[in-house]
A and B are shown apart, each in its own frame.
Chain A
């Protein structure tokens, strides 16, 4: 049986107390929310905190406030299941709920939190392995070693951004509150992530993510398209979040983020630029052609590497297809998403 390494366990009653504990222990300490990312990593010995600080008793990290017209705030400890089954979120933020509902499995969603999902460790199939396995490859740069086996000549780590909600939440321009040793700050998610497999969040170690803020729903529509092998369990190996607002038939604003294909949610800059101001209608051949042409530009920035499930070249080729589909989903008249694959 795979077991956890030994550690000291702390169960503070508030976010502020949790921050104090982590600040005191520095790199030796880590927060745990649902533990569905941290504990597997600890069992595989890729994360070995001597102190684990549980957020489960912090009532201040729970609950939902606000309303769609002005924006909704969700406590970091809200489980993905709670989000999936919340009637108001389902009605007003269907894209977000869909993204949350295609994470892992129902059982894991009962445990995993939105905070943990936003700070999910990057993944790589040279890294998500037991200690013994990694010993066979002499470890890698992200943990205990010095070479990146995905790109041995590259100076960086290419581990993959693998949270399902992140691309969508970046596309809709959500933000989070971080509580640090010296106070709170609010950070747009678009500014939180870095293109680096090891150092992938711009936050200080002790900073606690206390809440997620969804923007007001003023006419935009969003969609998430996930590529994975099976309709359950699997992490995205490509996950496209798109958010579109229209001015009549014209694209007023568009944002597209590509997840699961690089170390951060990659902005599909060119695609967005090509479609800004374009006339788009649902189920219209000319619009589809425009979208397809623009989506083709998503091919280049996609950094699919040979460190996830499914073939890297194919995943890269799928990026334009998924980008186009995600954009089309956002057009007025498009049917709501129900599928679990693609």
Chain B
């Protein structure tokens, strides 16, 4: 190819493994994973707030690692295991993170929630009993404008307990104040 040649505009055919399913997509090579998920696979649970890596709303798991889909080229993750929010519940049964995000209102508008829950899921996979500071650090790449993060921390802590098989009732402080 000569250096001056126009960029290739033709679509490429790719195969993605999303939430355990194989999906074939013909897409333009310059598209990001965010665009392919939302616009070609209709998986609109993955959100976007900046498309520049500055907010975390577009977080998905690639081979279990939380990354930003707005800065990931779709081509780069063909063949990888991609997990989005749509894959988090198991046959209609909510994942404990989803359950507690719902229970406590850790999801207010819910726009940031998929990013937070996927980042939290990756954290809990590595560290089943994180301290609050560890949760803060792990979630420091996700912005939420609604909750002030307080309920999010509580939800992650309760989900961690549930996953560890421990009792996990929300505290009265959390739901009613002191």
Contact, chains A and B (beta carbon distance below 8 A): yes
Which A residues have a C-beta under 8 Å from some C-beta of B? Answer: 1-9, 11, 24-26, 28-29, 34-36, 39-40, 43-44, 50-51, 54, 56, 104-108, 110-111, 231-233
> Which residue of the partner chain, among A9, A44, A51, A106, contacts B137 with CB atoms under 8 Å?
A106
| With A40-B53, A108-B141, A232-B141 as contacts: A6 and B9 at CB distance below 8 Å | yes
Q: Once the chains are docked, how many angstroms separate the CA of A34 from the CA of B62? A: 14
Q: Contact: A35 with B140, CB < 8 Å?
A: no
Residues from chain A with a CB closer than 8 A to the CB of B165 are none
Residues of A within 8 A of B5 (CB): 8, 50
In Å, the complex CA distance between A232 and B73 comes to 24
Contact of B51 among A2, A54, A108 (CB under 8 A): A2
Contact in complex: B29, A9 (CB < 8 Å): yes
Cα A24 to Cα B142 in complex, Å, equals 40
Measured between alpha carbons, how far is A207 from B78 in the docked complex, in Å? 28
Contacts of B56 in A (CB 8 A): 105, 107
Range, interface on chain B: 35 or more
Bound together, the chains give a CA A3 to CA B50 distance in angstroms of 11
* Interface: B75 (CB within 8 A): yes
Q: Complex Cα distance A158/B32, Å?
A: 32
The residue in chain A whose Cβ has the minimal distance to the Cβ of B76 is A56
| Known contacts A2-B52, A35-B71, A35-B73; A50 and B7 CB within 8 A of each other | yes
Proximity string of chain B (5-22) to chain A, C-beta cutoff 8 Å, 1 when within and 0 when not: 111110000000000000
A111 touching B3 by the CB < 8 A rule? no
Report 29 cross-chain contacts, Cβ distance below 8 Å, ordered by A residue: A1-B35, A3-B30, A3-B32, A3-B35, A3-B51, A4-B31, A8-B5, A9-B73, A26-B3, A35-B73, A36-B68, A36-B71, A39-B53, A39-B73, A40-B53, A54-B73, A104-B53, A104-B141, A105-B140, A106-B137, A106-B138, A106-B141, A107-B56, A107-B59, A108-B68, A110-B66, A110-B67, A111-B68, A111-B72
User: Distance in Å from the Cβ of B4 to the closest Cβ of chain A?
Assistant: 8
Closest A-B pairs by Cβ, 4 of them: A105-B141, A232-B140, A107-B141, A2-B51
B99: CB under 8 A from chain A?
no
Within 8 A of A (CB), among B49-103: 50-54, 56, 59, 65-68, 71-73, 75-76
Q: Say yes or no: B7 contacts A6, CB within 8 Å.
A: yes
Q: Which residues on B sit within 8 Å (CB–CB) of A51?
A: 3, 7
B128-172 interface (Cβ within 8 A of A): 137-138, 140-142
B19 to chain A, nearest CB (A): 19
In the assembled complex, the CB of B93 is this many whole angstroms from the nearest CB of chain A, namely: 27
Report chain B residues within 8 Å CB of A232: 140-141
**In the complex, A105 Cα to B143 Cα: how many Å?**
11
B141–A50 CB distance below 8 A: no
**Which A residue sits closest to B38, measured CB to CB?**
A1
Question: Does B48 sit within 8 A of A, measured CB to CB?
Answer: yes
Find A1's partner among B28, B51, B76 (CB 8 Å cutoff).
B51
Of A29, A35, A104, most buried by chain B (CB within 10 Å of CB) is A35
Given that A50-B3, A108-B68 are known contacts, is A233 also in contact with B51, CB under 8 Å in the complex?
A: no
A54-B76 contact in complex given A1-B48, A6-B7, C-beta closer than 8 Å: yes
The interface residues of chain B lying within 8 Å CB-to-CB of A56 are: 76
Q: A107 contacts which of B6, B52, B67 (Cβ < 8 Å)?
A: B67
Contact among A24, A28, A34, A107 for B66, CB-based, below 8 A: A107
In the complex, A11 Cα to B76 Cα: how many Å? Answer: 9
Cα separation A43 to B119 with both chains bound (whole Å): 25
Q: Are the CB atoms of B52 and A8 closer together than 8 Å?
A: no
Residues from chain B with Cβ under 8 Å of A29 in the complex:
3
Residue of B nearest to A109 (CB): B141
